[in-house]
Structure formats: C-alpha cells, structure tokens
Structure 1
Amino acid sequence: MMANSPISRRTLLTVLAGSGAAALVGCDPGRRRTAVPATPVPDALLVEVDGGLGLLRGTDRQTMPHAVATADGLAVFATAPEGADTALWRVDTATGRTSTRVTLPGRWVPQTVSTSGTTVALTSTAVHVTTGRPDGRAVTPVLIADETGVRHRLELRGNFVPETFTDDLAGLFVLEWLPATAPDRYRVRVVDLATSTPGPLSTRNKAPVPPGAEEEMRGDGRQAVLAPDRRVLYTLYTHQPGHQHTRDLVSGRPGNVHAFVHTLNLAERWAYCIDLPHPFGEAPAGGHAMAITPDGSRLFVADVTSGTVAEISTEDLSVRRTVAVAGGAGGAHAVADRDRLVIAAGPTVRTLDLAGLGVVADRSVGEAVTGLVFSPDGQRLYVGQSGAVSWHDAASGTELGRVAVPGLVGVHGLAGRA
C-alpha cells in the first residue's frame, strides 16, 4: 500500500481481474475491456491479483501482467515479450493513456520505479526485494530505462536485487546477497549509475561507513512505507536475532534485535535503523504492518499477534510510545490518516484514535482482509477481501459497495485522479 497506505515491497507487482461477468484482459497489458455489468468504483485503485498489477477506475478495468507502480500510484511501467526482446511503456493511471512502446534488447521484467515516476530498473528474472532470497549467481544484469529507451545497462559482479532509486536518479539502491552463488544474507548498498560501481551507504551523520561495518541481514523484509515527501523510505525487518547495526559494529557493542525499521534517506544516501522493542519480531513476519500519517510525522508499526502498536517519531527516529490492543491472527494490514489508525487482522478491522491510540471501533467484515486504503477525502475505507474489494463508510463501518475481483491478492493503493 502507499501514500496513506504502506508500500508492500513484496507486492509492487500484480494483475487485475475484471468485475461481474467480464473476463480478464488477455496477455497484452495494453488492452482494456469494460466489464458489463460492472459496479463503478468511487476512487481509482491499484489492486493486486496473482501475476501482475491492475487498475480499477470507475467501471473500467485495465490489466498489466508485468508491471510496477510509482509509490503515489500516478503511473505504472509495464512490459510484454516482443519476440526475443521486451516492449516497455508507461501508463497514466488517472486517464489510462499509455506512452509509445519502446523496445528493450533481450528479456526483462520491471523491478522498481523511481519516486519521480520517470525511470524504471529491470532485471532478467523477477525477484523483488522481499519475496525471498534469489537463486545464486555471480553476475546480475540490470537495465535502467525510461519512456525513451535504455539509459544504462549494468553488469554487476555479484548477486543484486534493485530496491529503489536515489532522489537525483544518479544511483540505485540494491540488496546485495552474500555469498553471491549461495546467498544466505544481504546488505543494502548504492550503485553509482555513471560508473556501475556499488558502494556502502553513509551513517545518519553522513559519515562514510568504515570497511567491515556494513550491516548484513538474514531476516524478513516485511513492508516498506515511502514518506509523503518521497525523500525517505522506511522498511520493516523482522526475525533478526543477533543482528548488529552499523552503529554497533563501529562501537563494538553487542547487538541482538528481532525487529527494526530501516530508514533510508533517498536524497542524502544515509541509513539508520530504529529498533523495535519486544515482542516485535518474535511472531510471524506476516503479522506485522506499518502505516504513516499524511504529514509524514508519525509512523506506526503493529504486531497483531501480540496486540502491540508502536508509534515512531520520524523527526528524531525513535519509538515514542507503545500501546497494547487485543491480539489477533492472520496477515496484518494498516493504514493511517490525520486522526485514525486502522489495523486489520483476519476479518477484524480495528480503528484507533491517534491522540491516545485507544480503540474506538472494532468490527468484522466477515472475511480475511487483504488490504486497506482510505479514499482521498478520508470518507471511505477500501477493504480487500476474498475475490472482492468493498468500500465502507470510514466512520460507521457500513458497507457502501463492493466489486468482484477474482483472484484478488490485495488492495495496493490509490491510483491517480484525473
């Protein structure tokens, strides 16, 4: 999820199934078909289904089997095989218009798109940053492209997975898996696109990381949230027993943290980890979720298994407080607006008042939730469920409408508005 909802780094790609009696659009993501009959969706949404990315806009349905969206949902880069090569184009989600296709030599799949929405990184195999470890390989080919075609072609020595771009588009943040041919851990690095050279990040005080002090992680990268100003990416990592941050490695202090939020400044290229207290990271990674307020000042992490919610100040990068709520089971989802934090686990949707983090509503939607997102005005709450997206009055919880989406994995977030 994005904007009001977290960007799931596991699920930046997916496909949309049509509504009602309509069939899925075929393998060509550029084709569109209007479902008849179809229920109009009040706000344009990006949704996730097995295999790709999709757009619901009114009664229109557009599918993109190989695609990646910008964090704000304003654009999508999509690809399709074109003989031995790959066709690439950009979709404006507010209008559905597509750019002219460009041909990329060889076969490529999109991995991540810049926060500016202009540039995309592609790899020869689809392995996203939190879908699990990649297969062993000694060299990683990466293509950097935009609407005009190829900008850079990289042959990185080692096993790399693109994460996101630097703010100035001069660098690409990557996960480097170690050892390359039999990976069991990874570290975050930045590749200089002019020289194709990967190197370490800086510390929070902008000092270079000393040799041997780069953090290496073995846990699960659960979810990422981009700050509203698009300059900072927050990523939740769980299951990190014995992990040592760069600051621990530099100081020689022991480290043993089970969960933390990796803070990556896309403009200044520094990283800092915010440790989460017990019991975060003890329960399954899927039971954790994050959400950020629209002004970007507060970041919330929920562990639905234990019923613990932490509030993080993004100004000083520290945990401000934790509260206990009723625990639950199943996958966790969260979304925040100016006044509320909504957390879902299984079929339960719980609303907390941000002033005191007290529970003000506790409702069941009948089926396991697979995604949450607020409408732009905060009046509606969209809920992903089994094979459908429903929308509810955000205050009362009353269901206002529903559209069938066969094979739905989740609600990715809001799309652009015309």
Structure 2
Amino acid sequence: MMSRTPLTRRTLLTALAGAGVATLAGCEPARTATAEPAVAVPDPLLVEVDGGMTVLRGTNRRTVPHALATADGSALWASAAAGADTTLARIDTGTGRGSVPITLPGRWLPQAVSTDGTTVALTPDAHGATDRPAGRTASPVLVVDSTGIRHRLRLRGNHVPEAFSADHTGLFVLEWLPAAAPDRYRVRVVDLATGAPGPLSTRNKTPVPPGAEEEMRGDGRQAVLAPDRRVLYTLYTHQADHRHTRDLVSGRPGNVHAFVHTLNLAERWAYCVDLPHPFGEAAAAGHAMAISPDGTRLLVVDVASGALAEVSTEELTVRRTAVLAAGPGGTGHAVAGRDRLFVGAGPTVRAVDLATLRAVDTWPVREPATGLVLSPDGRRLHVGQPAAVSWHDTTSGAELGRVPVPGLVGLGGLAAPA
C-alpha cells in the first residue's frame, strides 16, 4: 500500500504517548556507550522511526512519538491522550517550542495537514490515506487550527482525509467502496461549509458526470507536492483494467498499469498522466517519483526494469523516456536536484544527468537505502539506511559522515533551521 514519503504526503499518524506536547520530547545526545565524540549531522533532518518522528540537529536528536509533519518540515502536529480526551499542539521543529495545547473531546489522531501547515484534519484511527481502512458506514472528522475546532464532520460512508484545498474551504478525501467491505476508492472533495462530499472537476474545470468518477484498486505508491503547493501528484501502480474519467465519459476501454494522478488543490480538478510500459508491471515498491526544484517536471523511475520517464507538469504528458541499467529490485527512492536525479535501491545510489536522462555515476552505500534527502545547497545527499543515516558528496558520492538512528523507518525531509 502507500509508502512513507518525504513530507509530500503524511508520516506516521497515531497518538503521542504521554501527557505533554508543549516541546519536543526525548532529547538524546548522539553518543555511544564508549563516549566517543558525537558526529554532527550537517543539515537538520526529520527522520521517521518506529512509532514517531525524530529531529536530528547537529549532535542532538529529539523525538515526538507519532507526529504529523507539515509539508515544509517546519512544524509537527502532535496529539496526546488526556484521560478520555485528546490534546493537540503544533511544535516548531527549529526551536522545539509548541503552541498552547488544544483539548479535543474524545480520542483523535492527526491525519492530514493543510499545505501552509496551519490546519489539520483528525480522525479516530489515522493511517496512510491509501491503506485500506476497516469497514464502516460513517467517518467522523475534526478540522482544527490554532484557535480550536473549526468543523465537526460525520461523513456517511468510509472516508479518509487526504489534503486540504488551497483556500481551506474543501477537504479532499478518499471514499472507500463498498463502505462496509472496501476494495477500491475514489477521490472526492468535501465542502467544509456544508459537510457534503462531491466529485472533482475535469482538467477543463467541468463537473465530472455521475458514474464517471475514477475508482482505484491498485497501489498508491508515493506522492509529492509541487513547490508552489498548489498541486499534489500521486503515483499509482497495478491498475489493471483501470478506466480514467476521460475514458468513462468517452466510452473508450481502459487498461492502465501505472499513472500519475494530478490533483489541483487550488482549482479542485484532477487529471491522470498515463505511464508507458513497463511501468506498473513490476512490484509497486520499486517505483519512485521526484519533482524538480522548479516544479516543471516529474521524474518517475522503476528500479526493477530501469525505466525512467520525465513528465511535463505544464503539459501533463510524458515528454521523454530513458532506460537505466536494471537494478537489484527492492524499494526505490528518488530525489531531484537542479541538474541531477538521485535514485536509491538496495545498497546503491545512482546519479542521473537531467539534461540527457543518462546515469553518470553509481555509488555503493553500506546498507539498503530507505530514503534520500538533498541538503538545501545541493552539495550533500542524505541516505537513510536501516538504523543509520549517512551523508555523501553529491559530486563524488564519497561518504562524509554517518550517525546511528535505532528504529529508523525512512527519511521525512529537512527540518526547519534553528
């Protein structure tokens, strides 16, 4: 199901253990039992660990168990059980300071956060939006900002919040069908003023006709947010016999194995960019996607076959394709800089020149990669690995440093500067 991705979708989403969430918890100097000198991480990182999110900054690490990060990594929304109720606070990842906790009646977990980081949707049982939920016929949702509860929703059916509209008046949700025994889902938008869910528009901004909403059965592999935070791109694979809205409207047959679902958060329309063969044929985990820093192109790779596609975000078409050497399989990761795309799979990182889409270098890393994050200046590539993070020179691939991180699941992205 949905993979954990660098601050472009959602992180680990469950309750914050303990009563206090006013500051980042669990400050731990990164020292070994033999008191060897601590190694300083050169860039502040958000690291997903078992049960929570850790901020690595210099030689220190601070953990908020089970928190949801904002898109830019500047804050964490964290909830905590308080008797029969829940407290919720917004924590600054640069200073560690938190807002005054808000008390919410009942038990709630953060599920989706607005792209500006100011508003959060909470549900009783948060998880990845495309992870199949248990059957249910009603879905309670709270929408909260720093002033308190803004909306109380009880949606008929089986809904999971995914993202907010850019103007905060709509909440995009995945509606799972059938509600009591879900096996597929469709993207809808809830009008927060009325609480009523409805269909999205097509790319030409016309309403989707009844019966023409796309229903997905495959894997939502990864999502990335455009740099301007107006568009959310999600990579879907294994969509055998899938029919897009445009096919349903026109009556054309559909048989799509992989595509990029484009969701415009400002204008509330969706469009799917089909990916060519062999995308979607191999395991979903081997697919990865990255967006260029200027937001003009998406790079999609399948590490098993070596297939690489460049998608124009303006034209919403596949502009170029290339074939890299087939990798060892396993889980793929990707991040794009100004001139290079970095692809991690197994104990290998590959550098791809974006002008030619050709691999220009291959570096070994000590263990299989679990995530990639570029430094703000593009000079260092941080590589998550089981129980460790290493960082490498982006020109030579040389390892510049390494710190142990027990329980590491993946890299969440860059945290705010101090």
Shorter-chain TM-score: what band?
A: over 0.9
Q: Do 2:335 and 2:343's aligned partners in 1 also have CA atoms closer than 8 Å?
A: yes
Gaps of 5+ in 2: 32-37
Q: Are residues 1:336 and 2:336 paired?
A: yes
Q: Are residues 1:155 and 2:141 paired?
A: no
Normalising by structure 1, what TM-score?
Answer: 0.94
Select between 69-78 and 375-384 the one with higher mean Cα deviation. Answer: 69-78
Q: Do 1:66 and 1:110's aligned partners in 2 also have CA atoms closer than 8 Å?
A: no
Superposed, 1:2-401 pairs within 5 Å as 6-7=6-7, 9=9, 12-13=11-12, 30=23, 31-35=25-29, 37=31, 38-130=38-130, 132-328=131-327, 329-401=329-401
Q: Do 1:6 and 1:292's aligned partners in 2 also have CA atoms closer than 8 Å?
A: no
Aligned pairs, how many? Answer: 403
SS in 1 for 2:285: helix
Give the percent of matched residue pairs that are identical in Structure 1 and Structure 2: 69
Equivalent in the alignment of 2:415: 415
| Deviation, structure 1 residue 28 | 5.2
Note closer, same or farther for the CA distance 1:8–1:49 as it changes in structure 2 (3 Å cut): farther
Q: Distance in 1 between matches of 2:276 and 2:245?
A: 18
Post-superposition, which runs of at least 4 consecutive aligned residues in structure 1 deviate over 6 A? none
Equivalent in the alignment of 2:35: none
| Deviation, structure 1 residue 7 | 4.3
Normalising by structure 2, what TM-score?
Answer: 0.94
| Deviation, structure 1 residue 250 | 0.4
**What amino acid is the match of 2:384?**
G
Note closer, same or farther for the CA distance 1:244–1:302 as it changes in structure 2 (3 Å cut): same
**What amino acid is the match of 1:59?**
T
SS in 1 for 2:247: helix
Q: Distance in 1 between matches of 2:344 and 2:74?
A: 26
CA displacement, residues 275-324 of structure 1 (integer Å, 9 cap, x when unaligned): 00011011111000000010000100000011100000001000011100
Q: Distance in 1 between matches of 2:190 and 2:102?
A: 25
| Deviation, structure 1 residue 386 | 1.4
Q: Do 1:55 and 1:62's aligned partners in 2 also have CA atoms closer than 8 Å?
A: yes
Q: Do 1:14 and 1:65's aligned partners in 2 also have CA atoms closer than 8 Å?
A: no
Q: Do 1:14 and 1:54's aligned partners in 2 also have CA atoms closer than 8 Å?
A: no
Q: Distance in 2 between matches of 1:260 and 1:313?
A: 13
SS in 1 for 2:242: coil
| Deviation, structure 1 residue 220 | 0.4
Q: Do 1:375 and 1:381's aligned partners in 2 also have CA atoms closer than 8 Å?
A: yes
Note closer, same or farther for the CA distance 1:317–1:6 as it changes in structure 2 (3 Å cut): farther
Q: Do 1:14 and 1:64's aligned partners in 2 also have CA atoms closer than 8 Å?
A: no
Q: Distance in 1 between matches of 2:120 and 2:150?
A: 10
SS in 1 for 2:333: strand
**What amino acid is the match of 1:165?**
F
| Deviation, structure 1 residue 59 | 2.4
SS in 1 for 2:259: strand
Q: Do 1:74 and 1:415's aligned partners in 2 also have CA atoms closer than 8 Å?
A: yes
Select between 48-57 and 399-408 the one with higher mean Cα deviation. Answer: 48-57
Gaps of 5+ in 1: 16-24
Q: Do 2:13 and 2:110's aligned partners in 1 also have CA atoms closer than 8 Å?
A: no
**What amino acid is the match of 2:246?**
R
Q: Distance in 1 between matches of 2:150 and 2:59?
A: 37
CA displacement, residues 384-408 of structure 1 (integer Å, 9 cap, x when unaligned): 0110111111111111111111010
Equivalent in the alignment of 2:34: none
Q: Distance in 1 between matches of 2:347 and 2:227?
A: 29
SS in 1 for 2:189: strand
Q: Do 2:48 and 2:411's aligned partners in 1 also have CA atoms closer than 8 Å?
A: yes
| Deviation, structure 1 residue 42 | 1.1
Note closer, same or farther for the CA distance 1:6–1:317 as it changes in structure 2 (3 Å cut): farther
| Deviation, structure 1 residue 14 | 6.8
Q: Distance in 2 between matches of 1:278 and 1:41?
A: 40
Q: Do 2:231 and 2:265's aligned partners in 1 also have CA atoms closer than 8 Å?
A: yes
Q: Do 1:66 and 1:78's aligned partners in 2 also have CA atoms closer than 8 Å?
A: yes
SS in 1 for 2:246: helix
Q: Do 1:34 and 1:61's aligned partners in 2 also have CA atoms closer than 8 Å?
A: yes
SS in 1 for 2:256: coil
CA displacement, residues 341-379 of structure 1 (integer Å, 9 cap, x when unaligned): 000111110000000011111111021000001000001
| Deviation, structure 1 residue 268 | 0.1
**What amino acid is the match of 2:378?**
G
RMSD: 1.5
